[in-house]
Amino acid sequence: MARHIYRCPLRWSDMDAFGHVNNVVFLRYLEEARVDFMFRPAPDGVTSSFTEGTVVARHEIDYVRPLVHRHEPVTVETWVTRIRSAAVTLSYEVKDYAAGEPAVEGGERPDVLYARASTVIVPYDLDAKRPRRLTADELAFLEGFLDGRDEGREKSRALVA
Amino acid sequence: MARHIYRCPLRWSDMDAFGHVNNVVFLRYLEEARVDFMFRPAPDGVTSSFTEGTVVARHEIDYVRPLVHRHEPVTVETWVTRIRSAAVTLSYEVKDYAAGEPAVEGGERPDVLYARASTVIVPYDLDAKRPRRLTADELAFLEGFLDGRDEGREKSRALVA
Amino acid sequence: MARHIYRCPLRWSDMDAFGHVNNVVFLRYLEEARVDFMFRPAPDGVTSSFTEGTVVARHEIDYVRPLVHRHEPVTVETWVTRIRSAAVTLSYEVKDYAAGEPAVEGGERPDVLYARASTVIVPYDLDAKRPRRLTADELAFLEGFLDGRDEGREKSRALVA
Amino acid sequence: MARHIYRCPLRWSDMDAFGHVNNVVFLRYLEEARVDFMFRPAPDGVTSSFTEGTVVARHEIDYVRPLVHRHEPVTVETWVTRIRSAAVTLSYEVKDYAAGEPAVEGGERPDVLYARASTVIVPYDLDAKRPRRLTADELAFLEGFLDGRDEGREKSRALVA
């Protein structure tokens, strides 16, 4: 299980009149993390099929702590929590690592968490204008980031079986 | 049970490179609908206690249909689905009325729905920097828009009892 | 000489951490005014040739007075100050009318002015990827809004002669 | 003469429905460059007097070439072109270095230029709500980035004399 780590730069204008990063802007950070996820670790074919062939079907986001503009990026961790034949759920944490670095495996991780969120992505055939199934390449890529804590992985296995 | 109706103007720049209103921008529409809800129907005291004394704790949003820029506003209906002593859940529908007008009560309402969403708002004491309870005035105002379809209303009664 | 009047709705999020409408957002208001100008008063052919066949080449903007979010729209007046064979200059004033209405001609006009700006628009052939000349229909439409205070109009006459 | 170099990250959402970075978003890039300029090279006292005590009075921007979203930041060079007792003009170039690096002095610099711009900043006393003069520290800092190509520097000398 891997998590995709994106160091998301803030903009001064992300703050609203209350002097905090506005709640809506967090969804922009998730968008940037998704774009990075689909471009950097993904193989080329998956990048193009994702970029041109998916739509956002749902977001959930819980705000944990206010975030104020600073020059250092904030970290967005992205991973996969559920794979269906025609839907993928990505989960995220928007946070700062305590020491500015990912904690060693098994070690304590006293991160400063700003938000937890998830997004349901639906593969979509833009020409035919209807949902499509995940391709085998997409499935293989997504499985590498799957951490469903039991249910996600099994169902995914069933899909490719 | 009343719903607050906000006619939300679109901006051309709300569209992204795919030529649709970007999914994140829908959260801006909800923000505008909330601001309008807290300013227009709310009595003055509630306006100020809400505006300066609440934070967004959570959003959920389901995207139903793509929306493209046009000069006519889109309708955001807002109502209350749950009241707790220190949290309120607002629900929304982003839509067009079939005939451009709210349907008569009891009549058919073939709305064109773009998104369904909900937001948890937490009353907050900005000076003391901690959550606070809803005031009696806030409760009275919110109850006028409560449509919890069973559970919401009962719990709210218990709060004011 | 006519001016195009656009009543531009503000959004709460247009304010930045200083509690004023952010200077960059004024350019969004100008964009909205331009979109409205190209859609509403313009004949259909001009709407489509403008919308799909122009690029912004230059902006100038002077900020006169801070603007704070309110529920009433702000007025953007747009008119044409210069016409060349392959460039049009639009000028704008972002303001509130003293009495909420345009002053009668010749009367006093104690407007509250927030910003003055201008934009150079270049007709562009998107297929051929190069600037193009204004069409006769575009010229005729733009001339109706021309107020160059001497030089603009003459040069425009020369173009169509 | 030094130029301040800011590597400005793009966001996917900076693109509009035409698939280019929207012209208004370039002003955001300039804002980010200014914030960086006022925080990084500036001494602490200047950072705070600038951040809390200036307003944007004017922008000019010329668009040279369309910019499309990519993962690499774009470079914004910022320098000072004019200093008055109560106004500073910053100039910018938004560009890519040919080789991804600043060219050596005197060498050829075949940059890819996207936009040229300038901003007039006015020092402002927020408490007294009126323009103020530049402080000696602000002047000293700004002079280090002055490249007025004749007139700017002389006038600045006169100010501190």
The pair of structure tokens assigned to D54 is: 């200036």
Q: What local confidence, expressed as pLDDT, does residue B105 receive?
A: 60
Look at residue D149 and tell me whether its pLDDT is greater than 70: no
Read off the pLDDT of each residue in B10-35 and give the average, rounded to a whole number.
97
Look at residue A101 and tell me whether its pLDDT is greater than 60: no
Q: pLDDT by residue (tens digit) across C130-154?
A: 899 999 999 999 999 999 664 444 4
Q: pLDDT by residue (tens digit) across D97-120?
A: 986 555 556 556 578 999 999 999
Residue pair A118/A59 in contact (Cβ under 8 Å)? The answer is: yes
Rounded-to-integer distance, Cα D50 and Cα C111, Å: 31
Q: With respect to residue D108, please indicate whether it lies within any of the assigned structural domains.
A: no
Residue scoring higher pLDDT (D37 or D148): D37
The helix/strand count (H/E) of chain C reads as 4, 6
Backbone angles phi, psi at A126, to 5 degrees: -65, -30
Rounded-to-integer distance, Cα D54 and Cα D57, Å: 9
Q: Give the angle B7-B9-B10 at the CA atoms, nearest 5°.
A: 135
Q: Exposure string (b/e) for D20-47, b if CB count within 10 Å is 16 or more?
A: bbbbbbbbbbbbbbbbbbbbebbeeebb
pLDDT tier, A126 (very low <50, low <70, confident <90, very high otherwise): confident
pLDDT tier, B49 (very low <50, low <70, confident <90, very high otherwise): confident
**Facing D31 at nearest CB: one of C24, C28, C60:** C24
Task: State how far the alpha carbon of C85 is from the alpha carbons of B98, C45, C145, C157, C159, in Å.
Answer: 45, 18, 16, 11, 6
Does D58 touch chain C if contact means CB atoms closer than 8 Å? Answer: yes
The pair of structure tokens assigned to C98 is: 């003293």
Residue scoring higher pLDDT (D65 or C157): D65
Q: What local confidence, expressed as pLDDT, does residue D99 receive?
A: 67
Rounded-to-integer distance, Cα C124 and Cα C122, Å: 6
Residue scoring higher pLDDT (D107 or A161): D107
Read off the pLDDT of each residue in A91-115 and give the average, rounded to a whole number.
78
Subunit contact C17:A22, Cβ cutoff 8 A: no
The pair of structure tokens assigned to D28 is: 């955001």
The number of folded domains in chain B is 1
Q: What local confidence, expressed as pLDDT, does residue D154 receive?
A: 45
Lowest mean pLDDT across B53-67, C18-32, C99-113, D43-57: C99-113
The CATH number given to whatever domain includes residue B71 is 3.10.129.10
Subunit contact A35:D28, Cβ cutoff 8 A: no
Q: What local confidence, expressed as pLDDT, does residue A50 receive?
A: 81
Subunit contact B35:C28, Cβ cutoff 8 A: no
Smallest CA-to-CA distance from B125 within B115, B117, B111, B135 is with B135
Lowest mean pLDDT across B76-85, B109-118, B152-161, C71-80: B152-161
Subunit contact B17:D22, Cβ cutoff 8 A: no
Read off the pLDDT of each residue in D141-153 and give the average, rounded to a whole number.
75
pLDDT tier, A129 (very low <50, low <70, confident <90, very high otherwise): confident
Residue written as tokens 């907050």? B124
The helix/strand count (H/E) of chain D reads as 4, 6
**Facing D39 at nearest CB: one of A11, A31, A71:** A71
The pair of structure tokens assigned to C31 is: 């964009």
Smallest CA-to-CA distance from D69 within D18, D19, D8, D17 is with D19
Subunit contact C13:B28, Cβ cutoff 8 A: yes
Q: What local confidence, expressed as pLDDT, does residue B1 receive?
A: 66
Q: What local confidence, expressed as pLDDT, does residue A138 receive?
A: 92
Strand partners, D92: D78, D117
Among A66-70, A105-109, D122-126, name the most confident range.
A66-70
Classify strands D74-84 and D87-96 as parallel, antiparallel or unpaired.
antiparallel
Q: pLDDT by residue (tens digit) across D35-68?
A: 999 988 888 888 888 877 899 999 999 999 999 9
Q: With respect to residue D13, please indicate whether it lies within any of the assigned structural domains.
A: yes
Look at residue A53 and tell me whether its pLDDT is greater than 70: yes
Torsion of CA A152, A156, A157, A159, to 10 degrees: 150
Smallest CA-to-CA distance from C61 within C28, C26, C110 is with C26
Q: What number of other Cβ atoms are within 10 A of residue C2's Cβ?
A: 11
Rounded-to-integer distance, Cα C139 and Cα B111, Å: 42
Look at residue B157 and tell me whether its pLDDT is greater than 50: no
Q: Contacts from D21-25 at CB under 8 Å and sequence distance 24+?
A: D21/D66, D21/D67, D21/D68, D21/D69, D22/B13, D23/C27, D23/C31, D23/C56, D23/C59, D23/D61, D23/D63, D24/B13, D24/C24, D24/C27, D24/C28, D24/C31
What's the full length of chain A, in residues? Answer: 161
Q: Which structural domain, as residue segments, surrounds residue D69?
A: 4-101+117-160
Task: State how far the alpha carbon of A113 is from the alpha carbons of A95, B59, C81, in Å.
Answer: 4, 17, 53
**Letter for the amino acid at D1?**
M
Q: What local confidence, expressed as pLDDT, does residue A153 receive?
A: 44
Q: pLDDT by residue (tens digit) across A78-99?
A: 999 999 999 999 999 999 998 6
Does D105 touch chain C if contact means CB atoms closer than 8 Å? Answer: no
**Could you give the percent of chain C with pLDDT greater than 90?**
65
Element (H, E) at D58: strand D54-63
Does C35 touch chain D if contact means CB atoms closer than 8 Å? Answer: no
Look at residue C32 and tell me whether its pLDDT is greater than 50: yes
Does D24 touch chain B if contact means CB atoms closer than 8 Å? Answer: yes
Q: What local confidence, expressed as pLDDT, does residue D103 receive?
A: 54
Task: State how far the alpha carbon of D79 is from the alpha carbons of A131, C17, C71, in Å.
Answer: 51, 25, 39
Strand partners, D89: D82, D120
Subunit contact A17:C22, Cβ cutoff 8 A: no
Look at residue C1 and tell me whether its pLDDT is greater than 70: no
What are the percentages of helix, strand and coil residues in chain B, rounded to 5?
A: 30, 35, 35
